[in-house]
Amino acid sequence: MSWEEMFKGDFAAEDVRAYGTLVENLHAVQNALAAMPMDREAIDGLAADLASWRDRLEPAVTDEQHQVNGRVAELPVRGHAMLPELRVSSRTKDRVEGTVRFGRWFMGGGMAVHGGAVSLLFDEVLGILASLAAGGITRTAYLHTDYRALTPIDTDLEAVAWIDRVEGRKWFVRGEIRHGDVVCAEGEGLFLRLLPEQGLGRRTED
Ligand SMILES: CCCCCCCCCCCCCCCC(=O)SCCNC(=O)CCNC(=O)[C@H](O)C(C)(C)COP(=O)(O)OP(=O)(O)OC[C@H]1O[C@@H](n2cnc3c(N)ncnc32)[C@H](O)[C@@H]1OP(=O)(O)O
């Protein structure tokens, strides 16, 4: 399986929509759970419901090449349920812009986004841009985040990423998350284009 096939799974359009709805509902549950008060009855009921989800899902676990999560090119952030949704508004070979909204699930404190979640978004957006520009899978060698101002939850933020420079296999990519005129965070990462014998390419062809 090539890397393009891996990340552009051959899913029917209606199945893609259905999976998108599943992820949306999951995120709504996560946000509401993160905001719930101490309520023992609700906690016990939800724990039992989740245990039944686990019992339903675990027998159907499949391998990386057949899972859906993170492989749906048509969905925001390729339908990866771990990630905050980024809605891309423009994309060129060396720049991507979009809107992201972090829900309560991603709050660190003070109604602001957890710093790790900010870096998580940078890793994804900068990494995808690097992979698309490099025409193959890249891997993060380092990722540096500068937190310039608190990043608010529950509000639309602008996210932008661009290729800073390229040196052989090394793709230096930068990004920003902005709230209006305020730059909340800046990211800079080095992404190495994998050699044929490295990582995902080899693993998926095995
Ligand atoms: C929409 C659907 C379709 C889109 C389709 C998208 C495709 C799909 C996208 C998925 C998007 C996921 C985005 C998340 C991406 C991760 O999060 S990846 C996971 C996190 N990263 C890791 O686990 C990496 C672990 N480290 C490694 O595997 C290896 O160290 C690396 C990074 C591959 C580098 O190893 P290597 O290839 O052997 O390279 P090496 O020979 O050591 O170094 C090569 C050069 O890089 C430099 N270098 C290496 N590491 C460093 C460093 N840390 N600092 C500075 N320089 C360094 C070296 O100095 C050397 O420089 P030169 O001497 O050539 O000038």
**pLDDT tens, position by position, 124-167:** 999 999 999 999 999 999 999 999 999 999 999 999 999 999 99
pLDDT band at 189 (very low <50, low <70, confident <90, very high): very high
Strands of 138-147's sheet in order across = 86-92, 95-100, 157-167, 170-179, 182-193, 138-147
- The residue range of the domain holding 112 is 3-205
Confidence at 98, pLDDT banded by 50, 70, 90: very high
Mean local confidence (pLDDT), 73-83: 95
Here the tokens at position 3 are 């890397």
Give 170's pLDDT tier (boundaries 50, 70, 90).
very high
- For 169, counting Cβ atoms within 10 Å of its Cβ (0-12 exposed, 13-18 middle, 19+ buried), the class is middle
Closest ligand 1 atom number to CA of residue 126: 13
Q: For atom 61 of ligand 1, which residue has the closest CA?
A: 170
> How many domains does one find in the chain?
1
CATH number at residue 176: 3.10.129.10
52-61, 71-80, 146-155, 193-202: least confident range: 193-202
Q: Which residue has the higher pLDDT, 10 or 79?
A: 79
Q: Whose CA is nearest to atom 45 of ligand 1?
A: 170
Reported as a single tens digit per residue, the pLDDT across 4-19 is 777 777 899 999 999 9
Average pLDDT over residues 26-49: 98
Query: 3-class DSSP state for residue 173?
Result: strand
* pLDDT tier, 38 (very low <50, low <70, confident <90, very high otherwise): very high
pTM of the model: 0.94
Distance 161 CA to ligand 1 centre (A): 18
Long-range contacts of 76-85 (CB under 8 A, 24+ apart): 77/124, 78/7, 78/128, 79/16, 79/19, 79/20, 79/23, 80/124, 81/23, 81/26, 81/27, 82/120, 83/120, 83/121, 83/124, 84/117, 84/120, 84/121, 85/27
In whole angstroms, what is the distance from residue 93 CA to residue 142 CA? 22
According to DSSP, the residues that pair with 189 across neighbouring strands are 143, 173
Ligand 1 pocket residue status of 123, Cβ below 6 Å: yes
